[in-house]
Amino acid sequence: MQLQKQSRLSEERPLLGQDVTMFCTYLRRGARACGWALITALCAQYSIASVLAAPEMLAQVQIMTPPLEKLRLHVSSACGETGAVFNVTNRGAHWPRTGILKLYYADDHTLIGQRRLRLADQQKISFLVKKTIAAGRPVAVWIEPQWYERDFTFDAALTCH
């Protein structure tokens, strides 16, 4: 038995049916991060012939893909001598992709600045908004994940005089 796998350049590469490891590697690459655990389990439990004979098993990969976890954050803020200090803690799992931390003037929703970040499980970050930038106006933070849409609501807002 010989299987064919197409590369990005649409060239066909032969794959020997006896080589379970290589077959499973091709399947994992094709599935990217979605469902790779199920593909690994299928390849470990069944022979190539039984996996190919039951294509509905491979169709389950998309059905059984776990949903992406939503943000679970703890954001605290305090006024310091030099300005507003914001502390952000990721209370959820490692982020699958980057997010964008956006800093606004809370009174008119004007964007002050933004930064891309990707937080690990329980990772904490802190940053300072200097008094010269805040200038007595309320400053707010919103974190926008790139892996799902989230309603625009400030995660924290603070006015320091």
Domain limits of the chain? Answer: 2-63, 73-158
Question: Which tens digits make up the pLDDT trace of 50-104?
Answer: 555 566 655 554 544 456 678 999 999 999 999 999 999 999 999 999 999 999 9
Asked if 57 and 39 touch (Cβ cutoff 8 Å), the reply is no
The tokens describing 64, both together, are 């059984």
Per-residue b or e along 66-103, where b marks 16 or more CB atoms closer than 10 Å to that residue's CB: eeeeebebebebeeeeebbbbebebeeeebeeebebbb
Read off the pTM.
0.58
Report how far residue 30's alpha carbon sits from residue 160's, in angstroms, rounded to the nearest whole number: 52
Specify the CATH number of the domain 73-158.
Answer: 2.60.40
Structure confidence at residue 41 (pLDDT):
55
